[in-house]
Amino acid sequence: MPELSPDPEATGVVAESGAEVRFEAVGADARVEPDDLVPEREERALGTGFWVAVTWIVGLVVLAVLAPWLPFVDDPEAISAEGLEAVPSADFWFGGDDIGRDIFSRVIWGARVSLFIGVTSVLLGFLLGGSIGLTAGYFGGRFEKVAMGAMDVMLAFPALVLALALVTFLNADAGDQGASVGQVVLILTILSIPALARITRAATLTYSQREFVTAARALGARDMRILWREILPNVIPPMASCLLY
């Protein structure tokens, strides 16, 4: 290996390339910044597939929200002889079904119902499941045992079996398996509560023992302020990950 500069007052950077090592003197008064020694990270651009997906989702949401006022979105229940099993065309963009209804209009109006059910059930699940997990993880005690025991019982049932049981129970008087939009929202909310509660409780147990929570408690902060200002912002990301469940 080649010897480095014998000047003890010289400062520099050792640069290595393969088997060769060299010392580059930069003078006694020069400094090497730490950022100069860290390689630059490559920024990855979002791919075409990402923007296609975003455009499709945004367009579908806009069409669903504005469906009653758009002139090219017809009544989804309107029946016409021209639309009877029609192929996609300028008049029937997605074609027609077997009784002459416009499939494009039915997709847009169906998206309104799907978006309402999905958004409402998720928000209610976040509110109820998050509240149960947050309070159970922070306060503990008998409430935590009872609440988490109930969540374990709900998780013991497969989601589909539990949903069918709830539909049957809610429609016991009607004697059928049909469900209204409100009942579907209620059932999906109930199904989302246990997983959200357990994830929120686990994250709350972790953050409730952190130094910033201890400092806030030492400064006289109340429990609700600690939950709202210190713990909740940190447990929201784990709660959001439960959407993939």
Return per-residue pLDDT of the chain as tens, 245 residues: 455 445 544 444 444 444 444 444 445 555 555 555 555 565 677 788 889 999 988 998 998 889 888 888 888 888 888 878 888 888 888 888 888 888 888 989 988 999 999 899 989 989 999 999 999 999 988 999 999 999 999 889 888 888 888 888 877 665 566 678 888 899 999 998 998 999 999 999 989 888 888 898 888 889 888 888 889 889 988 888 876 55
* pLDDT at residue 11, as a whole number: 46
* pLDDT at residue 13, as a whole number: 46
* pLDDT at residue 82, as a whole number: 82
124 neighbors 189 (Cβ within 8 angstroms) = yes
* pLDDT at residue 15, as a whole number: 47
Alpha helices in the chain (DSSP H): 34-37, 48-65, 103-139, 141-156, 159-170, 181-207, 211-218, 223-225, 232-241
* pLDDT at residue 150, as a whole number: 92
**Which residue in 209, 75, 30, 197 sits closest to 126, CA to CA?**
197
* pLDDT at residue 43, as a whole number: 61
* pLDDT at residue 17, as a whole number: 47
* pLDDT at residue 120, as a whole number: 92
40-36-23-15 Cα dihedral, nearest 10 degrees: -10
* pLDDT at residue 21, as a whole number: 46
